[in-house]
Amino acid sequence: MEDNVHIDKLQVDAVVGPDFWDRKDPQKCFITINMLTDFDKAAASDDLRYSLNYAAISKNVASFVNTQNDWGSLGKASRMTSNYLISKYQGIKNLRLSFQTKSAHVRCNDISAVVDTCNQDYDVLKICNLQLLTLLGVFTFERLRKQFVTIELELPWTKDSLHSPPHKNIIDSVAEYVENCNFKTVESLAESVAKVVSLDEYFQQRPKLPITVKITKLNAITNTDGVGVSCQRTPKQLELFQLPRNPIQQRSTKKFDLPIYSDEIKTNTDDKWNKAFLAFGSNLGDRFQNIQLAIEILEKNPQITVNQVSSLFESEPMYFTNQDLFMNGCIEVGTNLKPLELLKVCKEIEYKNLKRVKDIENGPRTIDLDIIMYLNGDNEQVLLNDSELTIPHVRMLERSFVLEPLCELVPFDLVHPLSCEPLTTHLSQIYSKGHLEDQLWKLIPLPTINGHNRFLKFKSIEKFDDFTGKTTIVSQSPSYMMCVLNTTPDSFSDGNEFYHILDKQLIRVQHMYDEGLKLHDSIIIDIGGCSTRPNSEQIEEEIELQRTIPLIKAIRNRKDWEQEKIIISIDTYRAQVARKAIEAGVDMINDISGGTFDATMFDVVAKHPNVSYVLSHTRGDISNMVHMAKYDDDQLESGDDLTKEFMFYQRFPSKTGTNVIRSIAREVTDRYSLAILKNVRRWQLMIDPGLGFAKNGKNNLQVIRHLSLLKNYSKFTKDGQYVNFRNLPILVGPSRKSFIGKITDEPDASKRDFATGSAVTSCIGFGADIIRIHDYTNCSKAIRMADAIYKGV
């Protein structure tokens, strides 16, 4: 006798591999179970062991699925769930279980792994409702327009393989082939699809497995839902089958054909300006100066506005590898020029202004300006297939040095117009290959000294977190140490009587130099002439200049020090102090106010694109910031900003306890946007969340814990602009702060260095790139240990 117990589409949430955005997020899955049993055995013995209670089974299956954070694949989830049921319930004689997801691939909303214990050879991965556009048929109307076909695949999956066949690779391969070829018969299409599937490595290693393909033409006969054919082939049977290569021909035949016609380009027809993204690269001469000159020429063109520029990145050469490293980035421009007109401007900059000589394809160059994307005045992506120019750029999706800077400038969900996948997904796909040549170094330019081009260098990688199941950006380069050098009598922890004696200060710098370079390639010396501790008395600007400028000049005049290894920072919120300090030789402006205390600070920074700027967070001013440390969720929960604010490219959930870092990030985005509007370059910027400034002890601890959220924060501003902090280095200054004193019950700030070392290590572990400290001798060691533990460097 045969009796069955059925459970149809039990809904569970599970991570079964990447979803259609390549995110390892839980997907809504549906489990269907058919259990063959014998009612008589349970009835005769009245033994619960042989009774199959579908309510209990449903509950137990859902609980079992939730035991794993990431099953790795749909097949593994299906196979392990089946094994669990067989081992737990003695009353199951045979089992057929289907584990289905509707969100594993953007092109297909029905993928399931089916385990059948009656089949001793293999189980089946089913790919259903894969709808593709292609030219199919012999009638005139069929040859003039693509039509939808539905493809269903049944892919055998051997019992000795834990994971099912790679459905994403197979779907991508089938879609690429079908949509770029044309067929006269549906039979040819079906067998061609089987051949494409058989070429996957999984089936090449298993040549006897039968691949089933079903093709349905949806619009062939009006009185039916569709007509078609199906076939079953093994890779062995298809060995001699030659895959037809019938590319779809456009009216304008080009080397790289896009699914549009060149005369269908739509640009603006009114006063709206278009938007273009230009990728730049240089590896000859002074790379930074070449890039600067190219941008300046673009800015002088009345038909072009430079809206924003990405960070700078150093990359390995591609294609022709026997050449120097490149400096790369992207520019967003507004223009009323059409694509070919803009191309002419770019080529003139390359060959006329910067004297590029093209001896070798993909060889060394003073500057390269490529149009990689172009949007019309209605923000619609323009596709172009011309003998001189292809948009989007043909090779952009294989180049991390193009996509990385581009992803700083465009929304994270902006899709490539041909692949229909987000650019961030394509970038993650490049990084997932693990090729060292795809890893980039972010560069922050510093003033040249003694002929040495100097940069702060940072490497970040995309890393999958085994605990959260999310891919995040993490630092993987040595942390920089910023040594505090106060020339004040009233700084909160190290004001001293020798603040005005230059020789005494230089002795201290000598000690910093000797100790700092023992474990670090360079040191940052942060010189401050005006105490910014809360409620401190603010001195006149002239006094601040007298305390700092002579010391800066004295440091730069020391011939016995390797000047290129000394990075001097001026700790000031006054624009004129910053300007004079730059003239004296500083490399960095550390402004605790983020430009809020002096409205002309960004103007000074913008005039010196090779000087870096620390964009810090605070509220109020020196006299009242201690009263402005309230960060509640009321504002975050009530406004529409909630829907426009993201972490790790996902919307912030409500009531997450991240209110402090979110408020800081939101307020910093406002300052960031103003800085960019004032022509400060993104490559100059780093972020300081401002420990101790308009923050209480609890706030400070929350900030340290959530540094990774700050690095992975993005937001759409009220005027529709997109801002993200991708690749912006984080500077943190926990040294000797009062919150450390309260936790350790140490009122004397100068005795908080040991506890500071612990805070320094935590900051690096949570994502800090630069640490500002007082006790450089011991904190230098703490930084090295933290780098080794958390970054592996």
Catalytically active residues are 356, 365, 368, 370
Which of 443, 451, 423 minimizes the C-alpha distance to 291?
443
Report the distance separating Cα 293 and Cα 559, nearest Å. 32
Which of 148, 143, 233, 157 minimizes the C-alpha distance to 196?
233
Report the distance separating Cα 93 and Cα 114, nearest Å. 17
Q: What would you report as the CA-atom Rg of the chain, rounded to the nearest whole angstrom?
A: 31
415-to-282, 407, 718 alpha-carbon distances in Å: 27, 11, 22
Read out DSSP for 699-748?
A: HHHHHHHTHHHHHTEEEE-TTS-EEE-TT--BEE--TT-HHHHHHHT---
415 DSSP 8-state letter: B
Q: Is 134 helix (H, G, I), strand (E, B) or coil?
A: strand
Other C-beta atoms closer than 10 Å to the C-beta of 631 total 22
Tell how strand 390-391 and strand 384-385 pair up.
antiparallel
What residues contact residue 98 under an 8 Å CB cut-off, 6+ apart?
30, 31, 32, 33, 78, 112, 113, 114, 115, 126
Helices (H), 235-320: 287-300
- Measured in residues, the chain has a length of 793
Sign of the Cα torsion 547, 550, 556, 561 reads negative
**Contact indicator for 27, 19 with CB cutoff of 8 Å:** yes
Report the distance separating Cα 279 and Cα 372, nearest Å. 7
CA atoms within a 13 Å half-sphere pointing along the CA-CB vector of 299: 12
